[in-house]
Structure 1
Amino acid sequence: MSIFGAIDTAGSSLTLHRTWLDAISDNIANVNTVRPTNQSAFQARYVVAQSRGDGTGVDVAGIALGSAQGRLVHDPMNPLADAQGYVRLPDIDLSDQMSQLIMSQRGYQANLATVERAQAAYQQAIGLGR
């Protein structure tokens, strides 16, 4: 693999991890989004990754959505509560989202370090030719 191939492969992974970080931050921001029971709950976003057929990286194949059912919570003081006192919250596990956040951050950092090292090696190769 050439230096440019390493940059391209790591760059594709950077894009994937950035999209994953965006999805996680959206999920965390909406973990307490309350909706009336006659509406759908906030649907968590999950990034679907796909490897490139030629083995040169990964791409975002799409975004999968979580359950629109969510979970019913008894909160009769909430202005959105139905006649029985229930509201709909998303079915998002905050601890799972935080674990995914750590994994995506570390993946992003590792791929960024790869790009930086490949760029440094390329700069050194240019310097040898002078």
Structure 2
Amino acid sequence: MSNLFKIFDVSGSALSAQSVRLNTTASNMANAQVASSTPEGAYRAKHPVFATVLHAAGQNNSTSPVHVAGVLESQAPPRAEYAPNHPLADEQGYVYMPNVSVVEEMANMISASRSYQNNVEVMNTTKQLLLRTLQLGQQ
């Protein structure tokens, strides 16, 4: 029975982690078309890094909660686009665009949404199992 309660910890932490992933993806998509006058000033895509939390040595990590270990900034160079009439163009006529792929971010958003939905379903199923177990104890 106590293992069923651990599922709430795992699913709850996964919901929190996927929420960070969705927010990061939204930020990347919101900044995908923001131009800069320098490569250093261009927005860089950000990606969360997940890790499991082991409570004790030798514990099976299949019941370990997940957390966001950090959010890393992409090291890929920004795209240089030739746009001499753009107000942010440098002396050579280039503006620098973020290294964000909107297609990849959309796929990431769909994946994160599905993971979030799956974890909600796990929590609902676990809740139903616990309620049925309690009902058995009442009979």
The normalised TM-score by structure 1 is 0.90
The answer to whether the aligner puts 1:113 opposite 2:121 as a matched pair is: yes
Q: Which amino acid aligns with 1:11?
A: G
Q: Hey, what's the Cα distance between the residues in 2 that align with 1:38 and 1:127?
A: 63
**Residue in 2 that maps onto 1:43:** 44
Structure 1 unaligned regions, length at least 5: none
**Residue in 2 that maps onto 1:28:** 29
Q: Hey, what's the Cα distance between the residues in 1 that align with 2:51 and 2:127?
A: 26
Aligned counterpart in structure 1 of residue 131 of structure 2, from 99, 115, 123: 123
Cα pair 2:47 2:72 within 8 Å, conserved:
yes
- Number of corresponding residues: 130
Q: Hey, what's the Cα distance between the residues in 1 that align with 2:100 and 2:124?
A: 35
- Residues 42, 11 of structure 1: alpha-carbon distance in 2 compared, 3 angstrom cutoff: same
**Structure 1 residues 28-62: Cα deviation after superposition (integer angstroms, max 9, x where no partner):** 11100111126421011100011122421211000
Q: Hey, what's the Cα distance between the residues in 1 that align with 2:88 and 2:75?
A: 20
By how many angstroms is 1:17 displaced?
Answer: 0.8
Q: Hey, what's the Cα distance between the residues in 1 that align with 2:9 and 2:27?
A: 27
**Structure 1 residues 38-97: Cα deviation after superposition (integer angstroms, max 9, x where no partner):** 642101110001112242121100000013741211111211111221111111111111
Structure 2 unaligned regions, length at least 5: 56-60
